[in-house]
Amino acid sequence: MKKIASVLSAVVLVAFAFGTDISVAEQVSVGEPAPDFELVDQKGQLHSIEDYRGKWIALYFYPKDGTPGCTTEACEFRDNIFAFREANCQILGVSLDDEESHKAFAEKHGLPFPLLADTKGSTADAYGVKSRIMGMTLAKRQTFLIDPEGNVAKHYEKVDPEAHSAEILADLEKLQMD
């Protein structure tokens, strides 16, 4: 089973590296209301945009639990959790993996934020990040920073998993000063 997971991880990484993904829908634009959703997290709790009115949201989409880039990105968010809390920003991770996969991933890496199971891909589709890669449907690694009123304040189309958490925190500081 581990060998299959390793091969799948390699295929996903190669596909993203060589840009062989095909978008399924148009992306949400900055300034537009963030599409709402109702998704279950790794603890079985339901989440929606409306649950976080009055807070900033870092809604980050990622391809697959347990892959190297996704693990790096999640752990960077984890390591900066107190700075996000201080900035009144809720981190929400979203992939097309199921609740059980998210539970194992979150437990293994001590992730203190919800990982939302978009198993049907409807939320990834609404945000324009659902893609088909070599016959697989995955979410692209992209983030939407949503303001306390529920509008998209910033869209990160190119994400470096090692620097992304710090990048969002710096942008949050600038946006909160305006």
Q: What torsion, rounded to 10 degrees, do the Cα atoms 21, 49, 94, 152 define?
A: 40
Q: Which residues of the chain have pLDDT under 50?
A: 1-24
Residues 90, 83: Cα–Cα separation, whole Å:
11
At 47 the three-state DSSP class reads strand
Residues 83, 89: Cα–Cα separation, whole Å:
9
Q: What is the reported pLDDT for 134?
A: 83
Residues 61, 141: Cα–Cα separation, whole Å:
5
Residues 21, 138: Cα–Cα separation, whole Å:
9
Q: What is the reported pLDDT for 109?
A: 96
Q: What is the reported pLDDT for 4?
A: 43
**Pairing relationship of beta strands 56-61 and 115-117 according to DSSP bridges:** unpaired
Q: What is the reported pLDDT for 7?
A: 39
pLDDT tens-digit readout, 90-111: 999 999 999 999 999 999 999 9
* Number of compact structural domains in the chain: 1
* Domain membership of residue 80 as a residue range: 2-177
Active site residues: 70
Q: Distances from the Cα of 113 to the Cαs of 21, 75, 77, in angstroms? A: 28, 11, 9
CATH number, domain of 73, equals 3.40.30.10
